[in-house]
């Protein structure tokens, strides 16, 4: 299946999908040293975003979240790409400063968990 969105940060990546149907908060929600989702009650709590194509509708929470994405990248535990329904400031800025390929305006409901996903610019191959 081929999906076409809008490139927020242009790049290429390939990895296994990790899906969250609910929005994600990186500040206080993801451990910047390990990549583990720590937000209490979140559907991905306890899972690691490391190396995954992370799929979620949009970001929420504190704008410090952009720096958390950057810390994940520097610590080698960042997602390899981010796919959103509608990107907002926190994730967009985080992806740009961390140089993580990021695409939005996607029908993310069509992507299943643990499948191989290729990202190339605005194109997403599932």
Partner 1 sequence: MLAGRDGHASQKAMEILVALGRIYGAKRLVRVSSVQVSGVSYKNLGDAGLEFLDELAKDGRSRVKTTLNPAGMSLTDWRTQGIDSHFAEKQLEVVDAYRRLGVEISCTCTPYLAGNEPRFGEHIAWGESSAVAYANSVLGARTNREGGPSALAASLTGRTPLYGLHLPRNRVPTHTVDVEAQLRSSEDFSSMGYFVGKSVKDGIPRFRGIRKAGLEDLKTLSAALASSGGVAMFHIAGLTPESALGGKKTEELTFTPRDLAETEANLNDRGTPDFVSVGCPHCSLGELKTLARLLKGRKVRKEFWVCCSREVKRKGDAAGYSRLILGSGAKFATDTCMVVAPIEEMGYKVVATNSAKACHYMRNSGLRVRFMPLEKCVEEATRSR
Q: Which residues are catalytic?
A: 62
Identify the residue among 18, 80, 81, 87 touching partner 1 (CB under 8 A).
87
Query: Which segment (12-20, 38-46, 73-81, 110-118) binds partner 1 by CB under 8 A?
Result: 73-81
Distance CA 25, CA 21 (A): 13
Binders in 18-47 for partner 1, by CB under 8 A: 27-28, 32
For residue 107, count CB atoms less than 10 angstroms from its CB and return exposed for 0-12, middle for 13-18, buried for 19 or more: exposed
Is 92 near partner 1 (CB under 8 A)?
yes
Identify the residue among 1, 64, 115, 125 touching partner 1 (CB under 8 A).
64
CB 54 within 8 A of CB 72: no
Query: Which segment (16-24, 34-42, 88-96, 106-114) binds partner 1 by CB under 8 A?
Result: 88-96
Residues 6+ apart with CB under 8 A from 74: none
How wide is the angle at C-alpha 59 spanned by C-alphas 75 and 125, nearest 5°?
80
Is 96 near partner 1 (CB under 8 A)?
yes
CA distances from 20 to 10, 42, 74, 118 (A): 22, 9, 23, 18
Closer by beta carbon to partner 1, 20 or else 66: 66
Residues of the shown chain interacting with partner 1 in the complex, contacts defined by CB under 8 A: 6, 8-9, 27-28, 32, 63-67, 70-71, 73-75, 87-90, 92-93, 96-97, 104
């Amino acid at each position: 299946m081929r999906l076409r969105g809008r490139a927020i940060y242009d790049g290429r990546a390939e990895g296994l999908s990790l899906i969250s149907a609910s929005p994600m908060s990186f500040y206080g929600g993801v451990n910047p040293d390990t990549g583990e989702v720590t937000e209490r009650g979140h559907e991905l709590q306890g899972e690691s975003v490391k190396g995954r194509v992370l799929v979620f509708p949009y970001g929420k929470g504190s704008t410090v979240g952009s720096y958390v994405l950057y810390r994940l990248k520097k610590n080698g535990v960042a997602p390899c790409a981010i796919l959103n329904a509608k990107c907002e400031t926190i994730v967009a800025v985080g992806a740009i400063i961390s140089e993580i390929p990021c695409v939005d305006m996607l029908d993310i409901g069509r992507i299943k968990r643990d499948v191989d996903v290729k990202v190339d610019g605005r194109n997403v191959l599932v």
